[in-house]
Amino acid sequence: MKKNGYFFTTLLLAFLLLAGCSAGTNNEDQNTKEQANETAKVENNKDEAKSALKMMENETVGQYLADANGMALYYFTKDEPNKTNCSGDCLKNWPSFFAENVEVPEGFNKEDFGTITREDTGEKQTTYKGYPLYYFANDTASGDVKGQGVKGVWFIVNSETVFK
Q: Where are the domains of the chain?
A: 1-51, 53-156
Please write the tens of the pLDDT for every residue from 72-122.
999 999 999 999 999 999 999 999 999 988 999 998 999 999 999 999 999
Per-residue pLDDT band at 163 (split at 50, 70, 90): confident
> What 3-state DSSP class applies to 31?
helix
> What 3-state DSSP class applies to 29?
helix
pTM, two decimals, is 0.70
Contacts by 120-124, CB closer than 8 A, 24 or more apart: 120/84, 120/87, 120/88, 120/91, 121/87, 121/91, 123/96, 123/98, 124/98
Largest CA distance in the chain: 101
Tell me the mean pLDDT in the region 115-143.
Answer: 97
Write down the pLDDT at residue 55: 96
d(Cα 9, Cα 13) in Å, to the nearest integer? 6
Pairing of strands 131-132, 154-156: unpaired
Write down the pLDDT at residue 149: 96
Residues 6+ away with beta carbon under 8 Å from 7? none
Write down the pLDDT at residue 158: 87
Please write the tens of the pLDDT for every residue from 40-69.
443 443 344 458 899 999 999 999 999 999
DSSP annotation string for 35-95: HHHHHHHHHHHHHHHHHB-EEEEETTTEEEEE-TT--B-EEETT-BTTB----THHHHHS-
Per the prediction, the chain carries an average pLDDT of: 81
Write down the pLDDT at residue 37: 46
